[in-house]
Structure 1
Amino acid sequence: VLNEAVGALMWHTIILTKEDLEKFKALRIIVRIGSGVDNIDVKAAGELGIAVCNVPGYGVEEVADTTMCLILNLYRRTYWLANMVREGKKFTGPEQVRDAAQGCARIRGDTLGLVGLGRIGSAVALRAKVFGFNVSFYDPYLPDGIEKSLGLNRVYTLQELLFHSDCVSLHCTLNEHNHHLINEFTIKQMRPGAFLVNTARGGLVDDEALAHALKQGRIRAAALDVHENEPYNGALKDAPNLLCTPHAAFYSEAATTELREMAASEIRRAIIGNIPDCLRNCVNKEYFLRSSTGGGAGGYSEGGLQQAHSTTPLEAPHSAGSHGPPSGPPPPSVAVPPVSGVTAPPPQELVSLFLGRNNN
């Protein structure tokens, strides 16, 4: 299989390092069935002539709905109250309800801070406004003016967002620059008693720092659908006021069908066109085009999959539609000044925070 495969469809559970990629002798394209590609060495793949693509536009509604579900659970403590009833706890008066529901909060008037305002972040923002949230966001990739069109408040530093938000929700990609974005340092910049929600990538949160903050009450409660190590079993295992789900925010029958169709369509484009120009969501085109020798693990060569695997052209009608946005290099990083009165992270951390594209 390693010698013959010219295309591969893969999930996030498979890790491909440079050493792994070198074993594939004819591989020309990998399509990650999902949005994040941090499980693949995309630079090494490009240098070996292997295009890496993702499917960034699927499951937006599902993840946005799940995010709001988690936020509502944190504010109204539905998960914990339901478990008390299931365990047989009796509520005989308002005093018992008050004791059991400590930590419940009113949503209207609170500030929801979004780290990243891509497809999912925007969908969450619109939902949150209906519930009465004041929505702020930090995303240095977006042009000025989008906040006015959506009726949102834009901030230009991460620490300003953390300082002014009653609830922080993560909607950005994971890359080498923002690993453990939520750590001991940035948690101290959050408003005491704030909520934290992560439906993006597990590696954005330092589990040990979050566990400590939950035990100390620095963070009132947190809800995580993703974890750095999955299946989950880590420092947060015994943390209080924590709601965890098993990386299922993306799922619905409709979303799963859509995801597979979009991934297969990218493979189809590779079959009938020239790699990487024919691809809609190639994330390593920059590295791919630098390669100058051979195909597969030997380097870059033009053509579709039929040229890589057979001398007989594979006939197929050209697809007139597109399931995703055109790919392209990310905008330049933005130098972000510190906020007065708030300890700023090291400048380089802020400058490079969003060197990767928003996947949401």
Structure 2
Amino acid sequence: MDRHKVKRQRLDRICEGIRPPIVNGPMPARPLVALLDGRDCTVEMPILKDVATVAFCDAQSTQEIHEKVLNEAVGALMYHTITLSRQDLEKFKALRVIVRIGSGYDNVDIKSAAELGIAVCNIPSSSVEETADSTLCHILNLYRRVTWLHQAMREGNRASSMEQIREVAGGAVRIRGETLGIIGLGRVGQAVALRAKPFGFNVIFYDPYLPDGVERSLGLQRIGTLQDLLMHSDCITLHCSLNEHNHHLINDFTIKQMRHGCFLVNTARGGLVDEKALAQALKEGRIRGTALDVHESEPFSFAQGPLKDAPNVICTPHTAWYSEQASIESREDAAKEIRRAITGTTLSNVMTLTTSAGKRDACHLPIGIGVQGISHSPVEVSHVC
């Protein structure tokens, strides 16, 4: 029998009791909040249990989400492992707010969500330190070739002579005096810049959306065009969001504008880099080495895709953001944002609603569904849905 059918039958039985029982007479229906692509609600439950019923779906697509969630959920929490297109969003009949547990929101059709009256929020600050630290680790790894030296040791190369040392450590570069080019100087970009300067990097950046004067406060050099940054950087690191305008920002054309033999690091979004063009540049030596935490297709595998035969590649599985502390903080902040939506208070990081100037702004979204009169001793529900 089809495994999805078996799962759905099992979930039908589980979800029959998703509403709390009537306690001391009639009680308003409690709003339903669903964690779409996860199965652990232990962090979210204490924050939401007095205002909502919380369910988890552990889904990779909306086809795996229970019909009760599609029909009744007013709030959704999600990581980066599920994608919501307009077709997916239209399946939700009562959804009013989506909170992305993390900073990136390119896996949600923001425009369609706005048209459908669904607010989309993100949690941009909880993993800034982790992502910046991971980025610098990747940069240092490329310059000092730690991964390749470790691999040589595992393969039995003891590098006992100077000739062997030169062979296994070939390509290692002194950092002091190198130019690090940062594309996108938001929270993470700034954190990377401040970490890189003490190592001796000359830090430059390109960000057409950043107000004038920020570079002076941070002691950085602003570059007016992307082309100029590519031409003058020894190592380029990406820290911009992904949208329809910058998909494949790094492509064959922009790679040819780079300084020959530069390094490339991407801990932002996989779609920013054309991996086919990158693989070719690595094989030709136009790019000396690359470190990628995000990929065009995730989960990433070296067994397939254009990078499988490319040299000098370091890949990690979209974990630059992660630490135990950051994971808990981002989940807590996401649950608090959902709570604000349900209780009709101000939301902090709304992506779908803008001011007249086109800038993101906080928004008052008075959902307030089923909050009045809710028992303060709710039944805690954390079922697969």
Q: TM-score range by the shorter chain?
A: 0.7 to 0.9
Rate the CA distance shift 1:311–1:94 in 2: closer, same or farther, 3 A. Answer: closer
For residues 130 and 152 of structure 1, the distance between their equivalents in structure 2, rounded to whole angstroms, comes to 13
Q: Which residue number in structure 2 is paired with residue 236 of structure 1?
A: 307
Q: Is the Cα contact below 8 Å between 1:306 and 1:313 reproduced in 2?
A: no
Which residue identity is paired with 1:257?
A: I
Q: Is the Cα contact below 8 Å between 1:18 and 1:44 reproduced in 2?
A: yes
Q: How does 1:261-272 map to 2 (within 5 A)?
A: 261-272=332-343
Q: How does 1:275-354 map to 2 (within 5 A)?
A: 278-286=346-354, 304-307=366-369, 310=370, 312=372
Q: Alpha-carbon deviations, 1:65-106, whole Å to 9, x = none? A: 100100000000010001100111121211111011111100
For residues 100 and 175 of structure 1, the distance between their equivalents in structure 2, rounded to whole angstroms, comes to 40
TM-fit CA distance, 1:108: 0.2
Q: Which residue number in structure 1 is paired with residue 78 of structure 2?
A: 10
Q: Which residue number in structure 2 is paired with residue 250 of structure 1?
A: 321
Q: Is the Cα contact below 8 Å between 1:271 and 1:314 reproduced in 2?
A: no
Q: Which of the two has higher C-alpha Rg? A: 2
Q: Is the Cα contact below 8 Å between 2:102 and 2:127 reproduced in 1?
A: no
Which residue identity is paired with 1:240?
A: P
SS at match of 2:264: strand
Q: Which runs of 5+ in 1 are unaligned?
A: 288-301, 317-360
State which of 7, 21, 28 in structure 1 corresponds to 2:96: 28
Rate the CA distance shift 1:167–1:311 in 2: closer, same or farther, 3 A. Answer: closer
Q: Is the Cα contact below 8 Å between 1:180 and 1:206 reproduced in 2?
A: yes
Which residue identity is paired with 1:78?
A: V
TM-fit CA distance, 1:238: 1.5
Instruction: State how many pairs are aligned.
Output: 297
Q: Alpha-carbon deviations, 1:166-212, whole Å to 9, x = none? A: 00000000000000000000000000000000000000000000000
State which of 54, 68, 92 in structure 1 corresponds to 2:160: 92
Aligned-residue sequence identity (percent) comes to 66
Q: How does 1:36-47 map to 2 (within 5 A)?
A: 36-47=104-115
Q: Is the Cα contact below 8 Å between 1:81 and 1:100 reproduced in 2?
A: yes
Q: How does 1:79-158 map to 2 (within 5 A)?
A: 79-158=147-226
SS at match of 2:368: helix
SS at match of 1:6: strand
For residues 132 and 326 of structure 2, the distance between their equivalents in structure 1, rounded to whole angstroms, comes to 13
TM-fit CA distance, 1:284: 0.5
TM-fit CA distance, 1:46: 1.1
Which residue identity is paired with 1:284?
A: T
Q: Which residue number in structure 2 is paired with residue 330 of structure 1?
A: none
Provide TM-score, normalisation by structure 2: 0.75
Q: Which runs of 5+ in 2 are unaligned?
A: 1-68, 356-363, 377-385
Rate the CA distance shift 1:306–1:314 in 2: closer, same or farther, 3 A. Answer: farther
Check if 1:173 corresponds to 2:241: yes
Which residue identity is paired with 1:218?
A: R
* Runs of 4+ more than 2 Å apart: 302-307, 310-316
TM-fit CA distance, 1:305: 3.3
Provide TM-score, normalisation by structure 1: 0.80
Q: Is the Cα contact below 8 Å between 1:67 and 1:197 reproduced in 2?
A: yes
Q: Relative contact order, CA 8 A, sep 6+: which one is greater? A: 1
SS at match of 1:149: helix
SS at match of 1:35: coil
For residues 73 and 126 of structure 1, the distance between their equivalents in structure 2, rounded to whole angstroms, comes to 18
